[in-house]
Amino acid sequence: MKDSSGLEYSTDSPEVINTIENFRQDLLSMAPGVIDILEFADTYETSLTIQSYCAALWLYGQTEQADEQASYYLKRGRKIREGANEREALLFSSLEDWGDGKPNDAALKLEKLISRWPRDLVSMKFLEFIYYLLGQEYSGPRFLKALSGIYEVNKNSGYFLSSYSFALELCGQYDKALKAAEKAVEINEINPWAHHTISHVYLKKGEIDKGTKILEDYEYIWEKSGQAIKSHNNWHLALMYLENLDLKKAFSFTSETILKETPHLVIQQLDAISLLWRLEMGGFEVPFDLWKSIGNEIYENSRTNYIGFNSAHYIYALARAGMEPELEESLKLSVNFSNSLKRTEKKVWEEVSVPLIRASALMAKGKFSDSAITMQAVINSINMVGGSDAQVDLFRQAYLLCCINSGKRNESEEYLKTLSTSPSFTPLQEYWKSLI
Ligand SMILES: [Fe+2]
């Protein structure tokens, strides 16, 4: 049976198609209803697509517990994969790779899938997240190539354009990205992922006042969006205030929006740690009690190494919380994890993630010179540890601050220029300049 976009599913149940279409709408518009599909997993246990979507939802979780939940649906899917069509089987296989910690294999399969079935925007959305795991800035050209290949078929979909605009942004094509994101909003007003591209563009262009105003106007839409994007888009808005050195206002986002909804998702924890780390680099004193409560909260997750991007955040939080034994244990587990890997994943972990994690701990303890030396060796490959361009800028800023704090004047001046992608310095960058 086919869905409204012409994709074939191995089912003759209109209810299954309806469930699949509801999930697609909620995933693409980033609505909270996306999790509703879990309620249908047992009812439609013979639908591989529904089992795949349930597995993917948990795989987004980035914790050991979430992976265990995902493996339940993957196990169920293995029993029915024989009866599925080629596209459904390929999607399922890519999710197995994702679950097995092989994001590059997953990406290759999803790239193949969308080039053959370009209307499968759910698979495109999963692929976008796999690029996040591989480092979205690093994978930017690959992301853009994959989406350019399906542009003609999808150019009138606001949801497709929101992802396409983000791929353009990650490749530094800011004006084109903004145009595509604005068109995406014109087509689908409730499109927080397009707002997300817009936030990246204004941040990267250093147009802070304009960006702040536009994001504030969209904020009411995020209120009704899913938990992850509500947190992340508000994190972006907080960064705008931070760039303008409105530190108190930026700090208020930690409890008022980013960590507001509970239980916290990993993205909320990472956004909160990232904001606090950046606030410290802007000269703000983060209350120790807050670091302590975040340290306690993320301790369990810090023991699971998922991507270097996540681990560096966890390690920084543990160190700032003064949780020395937990910190040492998590550092050890990162090295063990790195040693257990194979192929590309091992190379990135060994050569980039582990040094970054160590450097993050050193910086958090005020050992700026040691941190700068450790970070210097990996800073040009930092976009391979996972995360987007704006997210890994955290580590670039950290390197700058470590250079500044250890009296490396020439390196600091040079690196500050490299760091800025805007025509003139923002107030935050001016502040850093004054410290050199
Ligand atoms: Fe972002």
Distance 239 CA to ligand 1 centre (A): 10
**CA torsion, ordered 255, 261, 266, 270, to nearest 10 deg:** -20
Is 414 within the bounds of a domain?
Answer: no
> Residue 208 has what pLDDT?
97
Percent of the chain with pLDDT over 90: 97
Q: Which amino acid is at 56?
A: A
Q: What is the pLDDT of residues 176-190, one digit of tens each?
A: 999 999 999 999 999
Is 126 within the bounds of a domain?
Answer: no
**CA–CA dist 279, 264 (Å, integer):** 21
Distance 229 CA to ligand 1 centre (A): 9
Distance 153 CA to ligand 1 centre (A): 26
Contact 114, 120 (CB under 8 A): yes
Distance of CA 13 to the CA centre of its chain: 35
Is 15 within the bounds of a domain?
Answer: yes
Q: What is the pLDDT of residues 229-286, one digit of tens each?
A: 999 999 999 999 999 999 999 999 999 999 999 999 999 999 999 999 999 999 999 9
> Residue 342 has what pLDDT?
84
pLDDT at 123 over 90: yes
Question: Can you read off the two tokens belonging to residue 338?
Answer: 């790195």
Question: Can you read off the two tokens belonging to residue 259?
Answer: 């960590």
**CA–CA dist 9, 2 (Å, integer):** 6
Distance 29 CA to ligand 1 centre (A): 16
pLDDT, mean over the chain: 97
Name the DSSP letter for residue 350: I
User: For the chain, how many structural domains are there in total?
Assistant: 1
Tokens 């969006």 identify what position? 225
Is 263 within the bounds of a domain?
Answer: no
Contact 46, 80 (CB under 8 A): yes
Q: Strand ranges (DSSP E) for 151-255?
A: none
Q: Which amino acid is at 326?
A: E
Name the DSSP letter for residue 257: I
Range of the domain at 90: 1-109
Is 140 within the bounds of a domain?
Answer: no
Contact 50, 17 (CB under 8 A): no
Is 72 within the bounds of a domain?
Answer: yes
Contact 233, 196 (CB under 8 A): yes
Distance 232 CA to ligand 1 centre (A): 6
Distance 378 CA to ligand 1 centre (A): 22
Is 308 within the bounds of a domain?
Answer: no
pTM comes to: 0.96
Is 54 within the bounds of a domain?
Answer: yes
**CA–CA dist 14, 21 (Å, integer):** 10
Q: Strand ranges (DSSP E) for 234-372?
A: none
Contact 49, 88 (CB under 8 A): yes
